[in-house]
Amino acid sequence: MVELLRQADDPARREAIAPQLQAITAATGALGDLIAWADELRRLGAADAARATLELALACGHPADVHQRAFLSIHTPHAMRDDEPYKAALDGDRALVRDPGEVELAPVAAALAEVAALVWPDLDDTLARSGAAGARVRARSAADRAVDSDPYDVDAVDLASGLAIDHGDVDAAASMLTRLLGARDDRMPAQAARKAHLSYRLGQARAQRGDLRQALAAYERAVAIAPDSDGATHARRDMVELLRQADDPARREAIAPQLQAITAATGALGDLIAWADELRRLGAADAARATLELALACGHPADVHQRAFLSIHTPHAMRDDEPYKAALDGDRALVRDPGEVELAPVAAALAEVAALVWPDLDDTLARSGAAGARRVPATRNAAATAMLSRIATALGAGAVMLYERDAGPEAAVIAAATPMIVLGPRLLTDATPALEIRAILARAVELTRPEHVAFAGLPPADLARLLASVVRLFGPAALRDAVTALVDDPDVQRGHDDMVKAALPVKVRTRLEQLLAGVAPSALDVPRYQAACERSADRAALLLGGDPAAIARLAVSRGDTVSHLISAIAQTGWLPLRSRLGLGVH
């Protein structure tokens, strides 16, 4: 079937090849079948699936070819922190890892483990019978000797203090940590995050021995050393618990800022709810409402107190044509995704190149699947037309043309000399809630910015060919090798290269050479940059008062989480800027 499908002219039929290769691989477990499936996934642009299958093929002995190596160098996976939680659990998916040979005896084996725990309950006895008698004591002794040899050896103190706390010897842990952390900074160069973690551990040791005042000082120092580190986040959590026990109201006022910082660091819904409830307790009406609304949009079921608070504190309802009272200007870092930073200048230049390569507006609409779209007149009495210019001004976007079509998605961004937003019929009717229109329109306007519009507004095939052409023509050798994975048909790509080269003036070519000289091959990951642009658009829509539920729903529908929204609202400047924009409870 695969061989027949490869000969088909219909692209839809060729899309059926990958599932067949997947089924073959599952049935045979053969390396050759895995490689064939991985290459098909790579051809389809399924970055994550292709990387996962290729990595396994290499681990099983496959020597990667130049195209596979280029693909792996571009599509780098998310590097999990050591203490980062997984976003889900296996639950009902255990069949994916369970071996068929387990099935018959598994219930008996589980019961046997329960019986063993009842027969031999003593841990030291269990260690002795397992040939590990005294292992914990010997490990502690070895770590202590290493600390005695060099009290300022960070690795030794880290290990020994952790073992001491495990043994309940908090005095010893506190002593060695106090000595290390009191040393001159040049003894621990470039290790701020490590120092913060050790200061957090010192706070734990002091808290366990009842010295709460000194524990608080250690936690505060952990935060001061490296505010964005995991150690600082752990310290803030313990600090909140200590502050809750304080009799001094002034000290309890410090809880909310700590919960805010924790929420910004983790992007976790539970942390957002804790912060929102603390703001509610303090009577911070606007901040509490904004955070609670986002928590509900992210799936939190409000309790009776939270519902009562929201019913009492109603926000200002903006008119469709009401201007914002400020603009982002120097505050763009609040919405900009970290994943944009490296490629943003190249992306902006790519948008300029696209406008030169495809100057015809009707052709651009047709290639984007929006043939027949019509310009929306400025006099059109609709919420979207009234909001557009106000949103664009607030976000600092340039000129945007608004189009409509009779059927299609709610809003589509199209890259052109003047970017276009094509609205579906739902966004031009009175039945659609104004806050939802504001959310969708603000997202679209953010995606028309120069650093976003090429990746958000070009058809996937055009974007891949254009990026490949620009890098092949003007990039250094390392980048040219990296875009090999983007080339589907070498002959078509060469013709496209010639078209791009002919369309660009010398000034643009020179600028592209300068921009590409400093770009790492790993930055040329199209799906990753597109995801970063989408997250920036989500943040922009949330900041400008769009419906949080609509924004969260769009994020989840494209396979993302809502953690970037939760982290965003907890940034230090977010709520003050929101107030300056004229939003919230007045």
Which of 312, 347, 367 is the C-terminal boundary of a domain?
A: 312
**Average model confidence (pLDDT) for the chain?**
90
**Whole-number pLDDT of residue 188:** 61
For residue 184, is pLDDT > 80?
no
Q: How far apart are CA 565 and CA 277, in angstroms?
A: 18
Domain count of the fold of the chain = 3
131 Cβ contact list (under 8 Å, min separation 6): none
Residue 429 is assigned to a structural domain of this protein: yes
Name the band, by pLDDT with cuts 50, 70 and 90, for residue 82: confident
Kindly state whether residue 130 falls inside one of the protein's structural domains.
Answer: no
How much is the pLDDT for 453?
Answer: 95
User: Which of 252, 281, 312 is the last residue in one of the domains?
Assistant: 312
Q: β-pairing, 420-423 with 401-404? A: parallel
115-145 pLDDT tens trace: 888 888 876 677 677 766 677 778 888 888 9
* pLDDT above 90 (res 74): no
- Please give the Cα distance from 161 to 204 (Å, whole number): 11
Q: What is the pLDDT of residue 203?
A: 94
Beta strands of 332-381 (E only): which ranges? 374-375
User: Which long-range contacts does 268-276 make (Cβ < 8 Å, 24+ apart)?
Assistant: 268/563, 268/566, 269/295, 269/298, 269/299, 269/300, 269/562, 269/566, 271/566, 272/298, 272/300, 272/566, 272/569, 272/570, 273/300, 275/570, 276/306
Same domain, 361 and 221: no
Say if 555 falls within a structural domain. Answer: no
Tell me if 113 is assigned to some domain: no
Cβ–Cβ < 8 Å for 278, 259: yes
Are 27 and 156 in a shared domain?
no
Cβ–Cβ under 8 Å, residues 53 and 31: no
Residue 566 counted as domain residue = no
Q: Which residue's entry shows tokens 């603000």?
A: 442
Model confidence pLDDT, tens digit, residues 309-362: 999 999 889 999 999 999 998 899 999 999 999 999 999 999 999 989 888 899
Q: Distance of CA 99 to CAs 53, 91, 96, 143, Å?
A: 20, 16, 8, 40
In a domain, 560, yes or no: no
Q: Are residues 237 and 161 in the same domain?
A: yes
Over residues 489-495, the mean pLDDT reads 91
Say whether both 379 and 479 belong to one domain: yes
Same domain, 300 and 337: no
Strand partners, 375: 403
Pairing of the two strands 411-414 and 374-375: unpaired
At residue 6, the pLDDT reads 83
Boundary of a domain, candidates 61, 91, 121? 91
Tokens of 299: 């799936």
Residue 87 lies in a domain: yes
Q: How far apart are the first and last CA of the chain?
A: 65
Instruction: Please report where in the chains the tokens 């494209």 appear, as a residue.
Output: 558
457 found inside a domain: yes
Q: Residue 374: beta bridge partners? A: 404
Whether residue 405 is found in the same domain as residue 304: no
Task: Please indicate, yes or no, whether residues 190 and 292 belong to a single structural domain of this protein.
Answer: yes
Q: Is 571 a residue whose pLDDT tops 90?
A: yes
Q: Identify the band that residue 229 occupies on the pLDDT scale cut at 50, 70 and 90.
A: very high
Residues 529 and 384 in one domain: yes
Do 239 and 358 lie in one domain? The reply is no
Task: Give the pLDDT of residue 192.
Answer: 85
Q: Which residue range is the domain that position 211 belongs to?
A: 140-312
Confidence of residue 172 (pLDDT cuts 50, 70, 90): very high
Do 236 and 304 sit in the same domain of this protein? yes
Determine which helix (DSSP H) or strand (DSSP E) holds 269, and give its type and residue range. helix 269-282
**Complete edge-to-edge strand list for the sheet that includes strand 420-423:** 374-375, 401-404, 420-423, 411-414
Q: At what angle do helices 230-244 and 192-208 cross, to 10 degrees?
A: 30
Within this chain, do residues 306 and 336 fall inside the same structural domain, yes or no?
Answer: no
Indicate if 163 and 307 belong to the same structural domain. Answer: yes
pLDDT above 90 for 385: yes
Tell the burial category of 314 from Cβ atoms under 10 Å away from its Cβ (0-12, 13-18, 19+): exposed
CATH number for position 263: 1.25.40.10
Q: Tell me if residue 461 falls in helix, strand or coil.
A: helix
